[in-house]
Amino acid sequence: MPSPLQPFLEPSRPQPASETLTWLFTPAGQLLLASPSAQQLSLLSDPYAIIVPNWLQQVVERALATDRPSLEQAPQVENLRVALVTEVVHIPLTLELQWLADTDSGSTLLLVTGSCQDLNQSLLSDWQQLQFLEAQRLSHKVSYWSWNREQANQFFAAPQVYVLLGQDSNQPLTLETFLQSCRGSLDDLQSAATSLGNQRSHWIGDFQVHTAQGDRWLECHCLLHHDSEGQLISIVGNLKDITEEHHILSLIQDSEARFQAVLENNPNGILILDEQGEVLYANSTAEQLFGKSHRELKGKYLGFPLSFNITIHLDLVQSDRSLRHVDVSIVPIPWKQSKAYLALLTDVTNLYQTQQRLQLLQEATEKSPVSIVITNREGSIEYVNQAFESITGYSAQEVIGQNPRILQSGLMPLGFYQNLWATITAGKIWRGEFHNRRKNGELFWERTSISPVKDLAGQIVHFVAVKEDVTEQKRNRELLDHQANYDGLTDLPNRTLALDRLRQAIALSERSNDAVVVMLLDLDRFKNVNDTLGHSYGDRLLQAVAQRLRYSLPREMTISRLGGDEFLIICPSVEEGIHIEKLSQKLLQVISQPIVIEAEELVITASIGVACYPNDGSTPEVLMRNADTAMYSAKRNGGNDFQLFMPTMNAAAHERIQLETHLRHALEQYQLKVFYQPIINLEDGRVVGLEALSRWHDPQLGNITPDRFIPIAEETGLIVPLGYRVIEQACQDVAKWQQQYGQPLWVAVNLSPRQLRSSRFVQTTLKILNRYDFRPDALKLEVTEQMLMDDTASATQMLYTLHEQGIQLALDDFGTGYSALSYLRRYPFQSLKVDKSFLSDLPDSAESCALVKTIVAMAHGLGMQAIAEGVETEEHVQFLKEIGCEYAQGFFFSRPLPAAEIEPFLAQSIGSIS
Ligand code: C2E
Ligand code: MG
Ligand code: MG
């Protein structure tokens, strides 16, 4: 059967005069079938699709709307023909409409048949000709094919089909070869053809063919028609080269896949939300962030505000209880032909943490108690913290852009800043201290560390200075240094500093061969000042002495207070010619000038010991020790004196130390004994009393006289226990003898100044008396003039207390000291002992005779009894009797004897009298 398209496909051939066209429509207006020529006519307007042209559609719709008969009526209207004339692309066309009853589908079908004139006729206008030629050109591309079982399996394929399939058009295709050439890709067409059965249907599929021109994608669009038994009767198909579209489609698919990959692998969470805010899509990052699968999230309403370009912040708690900080930005997007929103979830946890850290750092920097300054490479200030503002007084505004040199005080040494700059520009850290000036002009010290800050390329971009105000610290340190080296009371160098200076002076002298003189100065009887006038007075006195020393000695000499009332004077590099004796004399004289403190005038004296480097020692320790020895020697001379050190002093000092050690031991071991020397009533020769005198026999050193050990006992304080021991022993022994002989025997015990200063002396003495039931008036305490010279108010008070208790007091060794009559009046003495030195010249020295006579007369005049000591001869006794002296003691009567030996003496003396 010739193709209905023949006239178009092969325009060169003679064309038939007219064409019959057939279309079949369902009651819904859907095209069921179009004859090839009808299709061809449609293709004129749309050559690539089997569609109903507009003009035909309108005709059909009108007919269906108005004239449509029922199924039953259809056969009757079979002959109803409607003649319509229309024009298609200016080709006059006559249409006839006919109703058909289709029992298969149970509906009334509309058959449209038409005829048109020969298309080639010369009646066509030029424009029509042109249109026609265009139609021909287009039709040439039509890839129409058809097959009809009823017409002997006729298979027709337009030339374009051969072109598309890459087949030779000289070898006509059958349905089988056509399908084969489609490489079996149309298998499913075949199966569709069999399975669709009793239906008319479209089938669309695409497949790939390999041609000499290359691979090509084709789309096959066909209409299958089955008979009532379901057998395929005919197929009308069309091939379409969709290589380009396929290519575009694959590009789109690729793009889609890429888009999907981008979505899926996006490090940001992506959610697509519908207009209600419910999740349409969630990528894997979003799944992770919410801890939910895509399925769980889908359809969920997450409460995001849906508006244009909005960003919100979310804190999402993770399964491990950690917190993720997420920024969500929402934008509206088109999504599958409708409106949707894209929510982009950016995990800013790290950023947030970094920000937090940065904030913390900034806070720390801002609130740091040390000042922080950041400058650029050129040194212009870019940042200062609050501490900087409060320390310097400059506000940040005032200094930003300025150079830190605004703080310079001009007090830093030359080259200081060059050195600093050279260090930091070399990329190193500089550390040091600035002496800077605050805005208010005040100077202050800053301990500073300046570090260069480099960029990634290693270039210095900033300098960071961290500065601490150490003014107070420095001041405190200086104060501490001062406190460590200076005496708090006098502000003179203390022992530590003095020793250091002495060391330095010695080191210097080693080179210069000059001498160094060390003078140790100790105030005489300073303790008395403290005891009587109080410690604050004592302190004032020490300050006054320090001041006098400072004013009277040259600057280069170090004057130091070693402690208590002890001062050290170091004369460094003493050249020959400097007269140490004169200097010492001067000092003694300066100090002994009366001092007025709190309206109280006082005279204080000092003792000075001098030692010289190198003669008297080569180390500070030896020099100090020797000066000390010399000073003690001066003290022993009665004070207000100076002594240059002599090596013999050391021997004496050594002996003293040895004695002291032995004395302690002797006291512990009760080696000290009490001897008694009788005191005789010159009138009747009776023993009226005994003087208790200490005796010491050391197993190693032999007999040691009181003259040697009593001063040591006084210096060391051992005299106090020793004194009690003597009183106790004396009371014990004498009480016994009093009982034994029934005589009122008294006992004289020597007192040392130290004992008088002991506050418990009276109390302890009374206790002892009590213990032996000893009458207080039988105890006579002997006090020397020296003791009264060191008088203190408390000692005077004590003497009166003793007197009130009935204890007798005697002034011993009268005539050796100042022999001031005022003492005799001031104190409650009952007896006066004439010193033995006066007796030795008696009776030959008229002068001594007169003296003794006067003393005795004076004693009597003051209501005291006189006791002469050192009575050695008969002449002495005679003389004393003549001048009316009451009592006497001396070798003439008896030497001091141990208790055991005195007893027979007493027995004899008392016995002989009685
Ligand atoms: P003193 O209290 O003046 O004692 C008299 C000293 O003269 C004694 O010396 C005694 O032995 C000595 N003497 C007595 N008769 C004669 C004499 O006819 N010719 C000579 N040349 N000397 C005579 P002694 O015992 O050596 O004591 C010396 C000093 O030591 C005492 O002088 C006294 O001040 C002190 N003393 C002795 N024992 C004690 C004591 O227990 N306590 C205290 N505080 N001082 C004591
Ligand atoms: Mg005595
Ligand atoms: Mg005496």
User: Which residue has its alpha carbon closest to ligand 1 atom 45?
Assistant: 750
Here the tokens at position 364 are 């720390």
| pLDDT for 494 beyond 80 | yes
Q: Is 490 in the pocket of ligand 1 (CB under 6 A)?
A: no
| pLDDT for 478 beyond 80 | yes
Q: Is 726 in the pocket of ligand 1 (CB under 6 A)?
A: yes
Between 535-552 and 580-591, two packed helices, what is the crossing angle to 10 degrees? 140
Average of per-residue pLDDT across 698-726: 92
Q: How far is the CA of 357 from the centre of ligand 2 (A)?
A: 92
Q: Is 891 in the pocket of ligand 1 (CB under 6 A)?
A: yes
Least confident of 209-218, 434-443, 734-743: 209-218
Q: Of the ligands numbered here, which is closest to the C-alpha atom of 747?
A: 2
User: Cis omega (within 30 of 0) on the bond before 334?
Assistant: no
What residues are paired with 100 via a beta bridge? 109
pLDDT of residue 184: 55
Class of domain 266-352: alpha beta
Name the fold adopted by 144-247. Beta-Lactamase (3.30.450)
Give the model's confidence band at 372: pLDDT under 50 very low, under 70 low, under 90 confident, else very high: very high
User: Which residue has its alpha carbon closest to ligand 1 atom 46?
Assistant: 750
Write the DSSP assignment of 522-559 as a string of letters: EETTHHHHHHHH-HHHHHHHHHHHHHHHHHHS-TTSEE
Q: Which residues contact 242 (CB under 8 A, 6 or more apart)?
A: 206, 217, 218, 219
Q: Is 813 in the pocket of ligand 1 (CB under 6 A)?
A: yes
Give the model's confidence band at 27: pLDDT under 50 very low, under 70 low, under 90 confident, else very high: confident
Q: Quick one: CA torsion of 327, 331, 333, 338, rounded to 10 degrees?
A: 100
The amino acid sitting at 628 is D
User: Which residue has its alpha carbon closest to ligand 1 atom 37?
Assistant: 693
Least confident of 81-95, 621-635, 641-655: 81-95
Say whether 660-913 and 266-352 share the same fold: no
Residue 206 or 589, more confident: 589
Q: How far is the CA of 730 from the centre of ligand 3 (A)?
A: 17
Q: Is 782 in the pocket of ligand 1 (CB under 6 A)?
A: yes
Q: Is 703 in the pocket of ligand 1 (CB under 6 A)?
A: no
| pLDDT for 266 beyond 70 | yes
Helix (H, G, I), strand (E, B) or coil at 438: coil
| pLDDT for 57 beyond 80 | no
Name the fold adopted by 660-913. TIM Barrel (3.20.20)
**Cβ 43 vs Cβ 138: under 8 Å:** yes
Q: Is 677 in the pocket of ligand 1 (CB under 6 A)?
A: yes
Average of per-residue pLDDT across 784-809: 84
Closest-lying ligand 1 atom to the alpha carbon of residue 892: 18
**Cβ 109 vs Cβ 24: under 8 Å:** yes
User: Cis omega (within 30 of 0) on the bond before 843?
Assistant: yes
Residue 807 or 10, more confident: 807
Q: Is 818 in the pocket of ligand 1 (CB under 6 A)?
A: no
Q: How far apart are CA 327 and CA 502, in angstroms?
A: 78
CATH number of 368-475: 3.30.450.20
Q: How far is the CA of 517 from the centre of ligand 1 (A)?
A: 41
**What b/e string do you get for 779-791 counting C-beta neighbours within 10 Å, with b at 16 or more?**
bbbbbbbebbeeb
CATH fourth-level superfamily of 490-645: Reverse transcriptase/Diguanylate cyclase domain (3.30.70.270)
Using a cut of 0.75, tell me whether the model's pTM lies above it: no
Q: How far is the CA of 836 from the centre of ligand 1 (A)?
A: 10
Closest-lying ligand 1 atom to the alpha carbon of residue 714: 44
Q: What is the domain partition of the chain in residue ranges? A: 6-119, 144-247, 266-352, 368-475, 490-645, 660-913
Average of per-residue pLDDT across 428-457: 95
Tell me the pLDDT tens digit for each residue of 82-123: 444 444 445 566 677 777 766 656 667 777 777 665 444 434
pLDDT of residue 198: 47
Write the DSSP assignment of 756-798 as a string of letters: HH-TTHHHHHHHHHHHTT--GGGEEEEEEHHHHHT--HHHHHH
Q: How far is the CA of 664 from the centre of ligand 1 (A)?
A: 21
Here the tokens at position 248 are 């575009």
What residues are paired with 23 via a beta bridge? 34, 112
What are the counts of helices (DSSP H) followed by strands (DSSP E) for the chain? 32, 37
Average of per-residue pLDDT across 893-912: 85
**What b/e string do you get for 323-339 counting C-beta neighbours within 10 Å, with b at 16 or more?**
ebbbbbebeeeebeeee
Q: How far apart are CA 130 and CA 161, in angstroms?
A: 25
Q: Is 525 in the pocket of ligand 1 (CB under 6 A)?
A: no
Residue 436 or 60, more confident: 436
**Beta-strand (E) ranges in 212-262?**
214-226, 232-241
Q: Is 755 in the pocket of ligand 1 (CB under 6 A)?
A: no
Residue 257 or 502, more confident: 502
Q: Are strands 515-523 and 558-563 parallel, antiparallel or unpaired?
A: unpaired
User: Which residue has its alpha carbon closest to ligand 1 atom 7?
Assistant: 870
| pLDDT for 134 beyond 70 | no
End-to-end CA distance of the chain: 200
Q: Of the ligands numbered here, which is closest to the C-alpha atom of 813?
A: 3
Closest-lying ligand 1 atom to the alpha carbon of residue 751: 44
Q: How far is the CA of 4 from the centre of ligand 3 (A)?
A: 177
pLDDT of residue 92: 60
| pLDDT for 797 beyond 60 | yes
Q: Is 487 in the pocket of ligand 1 (CB under 6 A)?
A: no
Least confident of 22-31, 129-138, 342-351, 354-363: 129-138
Q: How far apart are CA 633 and CA 625, in angstroms?
A: 12
Tell me the pLDDT tens digit for each residue of 149-207: 777 777 878 777 888 888 888 888 888 888 777 765 455 666 655 554 445 566 777 78
Q: Is 752 in the pocket of ligand 1 (CB under 6 A)?
A: yes
**Cβ 463 vs Cβ 372: under 8 Å:** no
Average of per-residue pLDDT across 762-775: 95
Closest-lying ligand 1 atom to the alpha carbon of residue 719: 44
Write the DSSP assignment of 625-644 as a string of letters: HHHHHHHHHHHHTTSSEEEE
pLDDT of residue 40: 60
Q: How far is the CA of 693 from the centre of ligand 1 (A)?
A: 6
Average of per-residue pLDDT across 812-822: 75
| pLDDT for 17 beyond 70 | no
Q: How far apart are CA 866 and CA 171, in angstroms?
A: 183
User: Which residue has its alpha carbon closest to ligand 1 atom 12?
Assistant: 870
Q: Is 705 in the pocket of ligand 1 (CB under 6 A)?
A: yes
The percent of residues above 90 in pLDDT, for the chain, comes to: 48
Q: How far apart are CA 381 and CA 375, in angstroms?
A: 4
Helix (H, G, I), strand (E, B) or coil at 884: coil
pLDDT of residue 50: 54
| pLDDT for 250 beyond 70 | yes
Q: Quick one: CA torsion of 469, 475, 476, 477, rounded to 10 degrees?
A: 100
| pLDDT for 325 beyond 80 | yes
Longest CA pairwise span in the chain (Å) = 208
Q: Which residues contact 520 (CB under 8 A, 6 or more apart)?
A: 562, 566, 567, 568, 608, 609, 610, 611, 624, 627, 628, 630, 631
pLDDT of residue 190: 60
Distance of CA 591 to the CA centre of its chain: 56
Here the tokens at position 315 are 């804190």
User: Which residue has its alpha carbon closest to ligand 1 atom 22?
Assistant: 870
pLDDT of residue 193: 55
User: Which residue has its alpha carbon closest to ligand 1 atom 10?
Assistant: 896
Tell me the pLDDT tens digit for each residue of 847-867: 889 999 999 999 999 999 999
Q: Is 870 in the pocket of ligand 1 (CB under 6 A)?
A: yes
Q: How far apart are CA 594 and CA 636, in angstroms?
A: 23
Closest-lying ligand 1 atom to the alpha carbon of residue 872: 18
Q: Which residues contact 171 (CB under 8 A, 6 or more apart)?
A: none
Average of per-residue pLDDT across 411-439: 94
pLDDT of residue 650: 80
Average of per-residue pLDDT across 809-831: 82
The amino acid sitting at 297 is L
Q: Is 890 in the pocket of ligand 1 (CB under 6 A)?
A: yes
Q: Is 837 in the pocket of ligand 1 (CB under 6 A)?
A: no
Helix (H, G, I), strand (E, B) or coil at 622: helix
User: Which residue has its alpha carbon closest to ligand 1 atom 24?
Assistant: 706
Residue 152 or 396, more confident: 396
| pLDDT for 714 beyond 70 | yes
Q: Is 4 in the pocket of ligand 1 (CB under 6 A)?
A: no
pLDDT of residue 48: 43
Closest-lying ligand 1 atom to the alpha carbon of residue 896: 11
**Cβ 372 vs Cβ 391: under 8 Å:** no
Choose among 291, 273, 275: nearest CA to 328: 273
Mean pLDDT, the chain, rounded, equals 84
Average of per-residue pLDDT across 286-314: 87
Tell me the pLDDT tens digit for each residue of 521-562: 999 989 888 887 889 999 999 999 999 999 999 888 999 999
| pLDDT for 349 beyond 70 | yes
pLDDT of residue 629: 92
Tell me the pLDDT tens digit for each residue of 739-763: 988 888 999 999 988 888 888 999 9
pLDDT of residue 109: 74
Here the tokens at position 675 are 């001897």
| pLDDT for 16 beyond 50 | no
Q: Look up residue 863 and give its DSSP letter.
A: T
Residue 711 or 574, more confident: 711
Tell me the pLDDT tens digit for each residue of 558-586: 999 999 999 999 998 776 656 888 889 99
Q: How far is the CA of 694 from the centre of ligand 1 (A)?
A: 8
- Give domain 6-119's CATH architecture: 2-Layer Sandwich (3.30)
Q: Quick one: CA torsion of 722, 725, 731, 734, rounded to 10 degrees?
A: -80
Between 620-636 and 647-668, two packed helices, what is the crossing angle to 10 degrees? 70
Q: How far apart are CA 276 and CA 655, in angstroms?
A: 116
Using most ligand atoms within 8 A of CB, pick from 836, 877, 895 the residue to mutate for ligand 1.
836
Give the model's confidence band at 12: pLDDT under 50 very low, under 70 low, under 90 confident, else very high: very low
pLDDT of residue 8: 38
pLDDT of residue 826: 82
Q: How far is the CA of 526 from the centre of ligand 3 (A)?
A: 27
Tell me the pLDDT tens digit for each residue of 665-704: 999 999 999 999 999 999 989 999 999 999 999 998 899 9
Q: How far apart are CA 690 and CA 681, in angstroms?
A: 11
Give the model's confidence band at 217: pLDDT under 50 very low, under 70 low, under 90 confident, else very high: confident
Give the model's confidence band at 882: pLDDT under 50 very low, under 70 low, under 90 confident, else very high: very high
Average of per-residue pLDDT across 246-253: 83
Using most ligand atoms within 8 A of CB, pick from 676, 693, 751 the residue to mutate for ligand 1.
693
Q: How far apart are CA 7 and CA 420, in angstroms?
A: 104
Half-sphere exposure of 710 (CA within 13 A, CB side): 14
Half-sphere exposure of 727 (CA within 13 A, CB side): 30
Closest-lying ligand 1 atom to the alpha carbon of residue 833: 3
Residue 483 or 120, more confident: 483
**Cβ 780 vs Cβ 749: under 8 Å:** yes
Q: How far is the CA of 48 from the centre of ligand 1 (A)?
A: 161
Q: Which residues contact 480 (CB under 8 A, 6 or more apart)?
A: none
Q: Is 836 in the pocket of ligand 1 (CB under 6 A)?
A: yes
Q: Is 894 in the pocket of ligand 1 (CB under 6 A)?
A: no
pLDDT of residue 200: 54
**Cβ 865 vs Cβ 832: under 8 Å:** yes
pLDDT of residue 42: 58
Q: Is 872 in the pocket of ligand 1 (CB under 6 A)?
A: yes
